[in-house]
Amino acid sequence: MNHYKKVAEGLLNHADIAIDGSRPWDMQVHNEELYRRVLSDGSLGLGESYMDGWWDCKRLDEFFYRAIKADLESKIKTDIRTILNLIIAKTFNLQSKSRAFLIGERHYDIGNDLFRAMLDKRMTYSCGYWKNAKNLDDAQEAKLDLVCKKTGLKPGMKVLDIGCGWGSLAKFAAERYGVEVVGITVSKEQVKLGRELCKGLPVELRLQDYRDVGGKFDAVISIGMFEHVSYKNYRTFMETIHRCLKDDGIFLLHTIGNNKSKVNADPWINKYIFPLGMTPSIAQIGAAAENLYVIEDIHNFGPDYEKTLMSWYQNFQKSWPLLRDKYDNRFKRMWDYYLLACAGNYRARGSQLWQIVMTKPGREQPKCRIG
């Protein structure tokens, strides 16, 4: 047994994961260089070696649930690449305006066919609300309705949707609540399809960075976009919304959250899925909102993201025969890894999902519905 394998076995033992074991969450190793690669490159090495076919696991979601719950990451010595990435994140504003559209090009523009196959019928690419839902469509519609109720939408109101995606919230709010919506995104493909889906409604979808938005709105809503802002811009984001929100308006922030404050993202996720992204802590959100807002309500339904991700994974598997001519097998392994690793993370409570309702100081407290 080589030294790297011995160290790897000792680490995995903390999470009750075996190498070449018979349980669904055990690793099946096909290349003995795996151990050195993972111990040298950490998260990036683990993900890239899976994409390369160096190892497999019948239930990746269960593998990550156990690994994250056992906090294996903290037991692996931090490599020099991680240290350099941390220094870069602290030194430079990686989400400056000049880089704002990178996430659209690298992730959201990869193919509307992929997202149509994977997501619900409304194409809502964020956590669903599963309290009374039996399927993904119901969970996403319940989430959209919950958001509309929390922000007190009424006919005639004007709403700003920051990170509008393909227009699922804009369309729902316009149809069900009779409001006018301006939605912004940094994805050309989202704007193109979203405009088709919202045709005939009082909805305007723009290809625009949030820092360039003007006007006044009765409500500002941001669902699943704050993860792309970066901690150096949190205050700017909050100030931009403050400028756009009427004095008696309501702001709802729907975001993935970290249990502790960080300034960089997982290296594999950053390289292959969400470049330059990071998830905030409550402390970071609070600091950015200080003296601008009254925080009226914080609603955590993070465990619902596990159900959402597993539904996306199942849809992706069912649709793969129709997608395989465009996306190769390495992409499939990458996408499987992304969805299942994230599902395992939420199952282990490694990340949260927060909906935070805020108002400007002096406004009468709204009657927020948390479901």
- The residues that are catalytic are 342
C-alpha atoms less than 13 angstroms from C-alpha of 327 in its C-beta half-sphere: 20
Q: What is the DSSP letter of 212?
A: G
Q: Could you give the CA distance from residue 71 to residue 348 in angstroms, rounded to a whole number?
A: 10
Residue 170 in tokens: 């804009």
Question: Which residue, 288, 261, 266, is CA-closest to 277?
Answer: 266
Amino acid found at 197? L
Q: Could you give the CA distance from residue 234 to residue 288 in angstroms, rounded to a whole number?
A: 6
**Backbone torsions φ then ψ of 23, nearest 5 degrees:** -85, 155
Would you list the DSSP string of 166-184? TTHHHHHHHHHH--EEEEE
Amino acid found at 53? G
Amino acid found at 238? M
- Indicate the pairing of strand 294-300 with strand 351-359: antiparallel
Residues 6+ apart with CB under 8 A from 329: none
Q: What is the DSSP letter of 109?
A: T
Which stretch of DSSP H or E encloses residue 96? none
Cα–Cα separations (whole angstroms), residue 241 to 24, 55, 216, 244, 247: 46, 46, 9, 5, 11
- Indicate the pairing of strand 180-185 with strand 245-258: unpaired
Question: Which residue, 310, 292, 288, 304, is CA-closest to 355?
Answer: 304
